[in-house]
Amino acid sequence: MGRGLSPLQQRILDLADQADSGTVYAFEVLVDVYGFPLARRGRFAGTHFNRREIGRRYFSGTVAVSRAFNRLANRGLAERIIGGIRVHQDGENRHN
């Protein structure tokens, strides 16, 4: 039962294509896809959102991004790293 990639997974791969290292952090996806404003920006572990301002969407967004990262890793397209994912750059038709 083969299924294609979700729009979120495709966007994560697009963001990885734009990054020289192929690395995408969860906060980058939350800003890009969900439009969450950063309350403070530091290194990936120091990036924070104002959860009160965002509300319930924060939890929904973080869960969706985490699941998308895990599914890409389970497909062998990427590996999980702390706070994000590193996409393997060796597949021509990754977006299928």
- The reported pLDDT for the residue numbered 92 is 38
Here the tokens at position 69 are 């990262």
Rounded to two decimals, what is the model's pTM?
0.83
Close Cβ partners of 76 (under 8 Å, ≥ 6 residues apart): 88
What pLDDT shows up at residue 42? 62
Question: Could you tell me which residues come within 8 angstroms of residue 31 by beta carbon, excluding any fewer than 6 positions away?
Answer: 37, 38
pLDDT at 45: 55
pLDDT given at position 33: 98
Give the residues of the chain that fall short of pLDDT 50: 1, 91-93, 96
Residue 38 has a pLDDT of: 87
Cβ(66)–Cβ(55) under 8 Å? no
What angle is formed at CA 12 by the lines to CA 17 and CA 45, rounded to 5 degrees? Answer: 100
